[in-house]
Amino acid sequence: MFPFDIFEFIGGIFVIIFIVAIIFFIIVIVIVYKLLHTNVDNVKKRAAKSTLNFIKDDLSPSKEIVTEEPKTTVVAHNCKYCGQNIEENTSYCSFCGSNLTD
C-alpha cells in the first residue's frame, strides 16, 4: 500500500539504538577495567620499590660511624580491608590500595 512500511522503519531505528548502546557499554567496561588495572599496578610498583630500598639499605656496607639517636615510635594500625600493618595517618593502604579516609 505505502512505498515503505512504518514498522520496518521503527524496527530499524531500534536495532541502531541497540547497537549503539552495546558499543557504549563495551567502552565503559574497558575504561573501568583500565582504571582498576592501573591502580593495582601502581600499588604493586610502590610495594616493590619500598622492598627493594629496604633490601638495598640492609646490604650496603656502612662506611661512616652511626651514633644511635632516640628513635620516634611509629604507631602501626591494621588496614580494615586486608589486615596488614600500616602507619596511622595514611589515607591509602600500601598493600591493597584501599581508601582509608572513610
Q: Could you tell me the pLDDT band of residue 20, with boundaries at 50, 70 and 90?
A: very high
Report the C-alpha gap between 95 and 40 in whole angstroms: 10
Q: Is the pLDDT of residue 75 over 60?
A: no
Report the C-alpha gap between 41 and 97 in whole angstroms: 10
Report the C-alpha gap between 44 and 79 in whole angstroms: 17
DSSP 14-66: HHHHHHHHHHHHHHHHHHHHHHHHHHHHHHHHHHHHHHHHHHHHHHSPP-S--
* Percentage of the residues of the chain whose pLDDT score is greater than 70: 59
Report the C-alpha gap between 64 and 74 in whole angstroms: 26
What's the whole-number mean pLDDT along residues 52-62?
A: 57
Q: What pTM does this model have?
A: 0.36
What's the whole-number mean pLDDT along residues 45-58?
A: 63
* Percentage of the residues of the chain whose pLDDT score is greater than 90: 16
